Amino acid sequence: MRQYERVPDTFNDATVDLVTQSPDGAAVLLYVVQSQPWTGSDGQLASLQTKIHNYVGFVLDGQMERTYQDVAGLPWQIVIDCQTGLPDHATAQVLSYLAEALPRYGGSLVIRES
């Protein structure tokens, strides 16, 4: 009998996937890379929310500027990099809520399909 490894649908909330500057150099882009299918499961939603909260903490506690000193003072944006299609309905609702909250902390959130 052949066994298949189950691919986790949760995010690794302990890491920042990618930090870069926008092409014009005017903003810092913090990427959340989604390389597995969106499931909308409770586990996936919880880990996504935790990951985004950790990204906000990475910025607000000054760790981003300490790590990447050349971006000090630039506006920042969390980019959800969808490599397997756009989020399902439940995930899209959570992301919409988070996108509304982020400007209070000085950031923004966008969803991009690769």
- pTM of the entire predicted model: 0.90
The whole-number pLDDT of residue 113 equals 94
Three-state SS for 34-95 is ECCCCCCCHHHHHHHHHHHHHHHHHHHCCHHHHHCHHHCCCCEEEEEEECCCCCCHHHHHHH
The whole-number pLDDT of residue 4 equals 45
| 70 CA to centre of own chain | 21
The larger pLDDT score, comparing residue 52 to residue 3, is at 52
The whole-number pLDDT of residue 9 equals 76
CATH class of segment(s) 18-113: alpha beta
Confidence of residue 5 (pLDDT cuts 50, 70, 90): very low
For 23-74, write each residue's pLDDT tens digit: 999 999 999 999 999 999 999 999 999 999 999 999 999 999 999 999 999 9
The whole-number pLDDT of residue 44 equals 95
